[in-house]
Amino acid sequence: MNDPRTEQEPQRITLAAIGDLHVVETDEHRYRDLFAEISEAADVLALCGDLTYFGKTGVAESLAADLQACTIPVVAVLGNHDYECGQPEEVARILTAVGVTMLDEQAAVVNGVGFAGVKGFIGGFDRGELGAFGEAAIKTFVDESINEARKLENQLRTLRTDRAVAVLHYAPIAATVAGEPEPIFPFLGSSRLANAVDRFDNVKAVVHGHAHRGRYQGATPRGIPVYNCAQFVVQQDFGRPYALLEI
Ligand SMILES: [Fe+2]
Ligand SMILES: [Fe+2]
């Protein structure tokens, strides 16, 4: 016989989220033990970009080796650092080969929870948002920001789950970058990402990275919780580098 409680309330999952690993050559499997620890504490791991420092393939392979210690499903987006060497597709391919689900173009459902994710882009928040006006270079720049938000929205639209999580690198709101110098806020994220998320009722949380000196928690204009999971931010609040969220 079915338990009516379980029918009404789907079983929650524990999501671990961490961004800004910034792996370099000299790291010597720095994250192996951490991934094992996370596997004990959570059901799913979300990696919020800047997985490598320069986006070198050798380093991506080293991270991929560390990820073998992770026994739970992993979803991920890349960060701007992973683009530095001009081969983000290679970095993504190396991580995919060890079982990581790279979001970006396609959403995924893990343990009954939908995950949609993009790197995102910069462009500013709220009234400080740069608009597509004037020079072609500005329009190209703003187009990139609009396009990332659109990819996120398209993924979210494909999800039929009652719970979904948006995984980003750049911040969707100003509140979770607060603590960074205010003049650089426009380079830390874009409100367009929050606007995309706010079109959906099933999104329970947004996790992001990038703002190393930002604040852990905020919310979108519609009240969806946003967590800055850059490892430095989380470490400061919780004494461990990864966030744990009940979804
Ligand atoms: Fe970073
Ligand atoms: Fe970054």
The model's pLDDT over 175-232, given as tens digits with 9 standing for 90+, comes to 999 999 999 999 999 999 999 999 999 999 999 999 999 999 999 999 999 999 999 9
Could you tell me the distance, in angstroms and rounded to a whole number, from the CA of residue 52 to the centre of ligand 2?
10
Could you tell me the distance, in angstroms and rounded to a whole number, from the CA of residue 3 to the centre of ligand 1?
45
Provide the pLDDT confidence category of residue 27 given band limits of 50, 70 and 90.
Answer: confident
Give the residue with greater pLDDT, 1 vs 47. Answer: 47
Ligand closest to 168 (CA) is: 2
Asked whether the beta carbons of 114 and 163 are under 8 A apart, the reply is: yes
Provide the pLDDT confidence category of residue 2 given band limits of 50, 70 and 90.
Answer: very low
Mean pLDDT value of segment 71-98: 98
pLDDT of residue 1: 44
Could you tell me the distance, in angstroms and rounded to a whole number, from the CA of residue 207 to the centre of ligand 1?
14
pLDDT of residue 77: 98
pLDDT of residue 56: 96
| Phi and psi, residue 32, nearest 5° | -60, -50
Could you tell me the distance, in angstroms and rounded to a whole number, from the CA of residue 81 to the centre of ligand 2?
6
Query: Sign (positive/negative) of CA torsion 181, 187, 191, 194?
Result: negative
Provide the pLDDT confidence category of residue 44 given band limits of 50, 70 and 90.
Answer: very high
Asked whether the beta carbons of 222 and 161 are under 8 A apart, the reply is: no
pLDDT of residue 28: 82
Q: Which amino acid, 48?
A: C
pLDDT of residue 8: 61
Structure tokens at 11: 């079983």
Could you tell me the distance, in angstroms and rounded to a whole number, from the CA of residue 48 to the centre of ligand 1?
9
Q: What is the pLDDT of residues 115-138, one digit of tens each?
A: 999 999 999 999 999 999 999 999
pTM of this structure? 0.96
Could you tell me the distance, in angstroms and rounded to a whole number, from the CA of residue 196 to the centre of ligand 1?
23
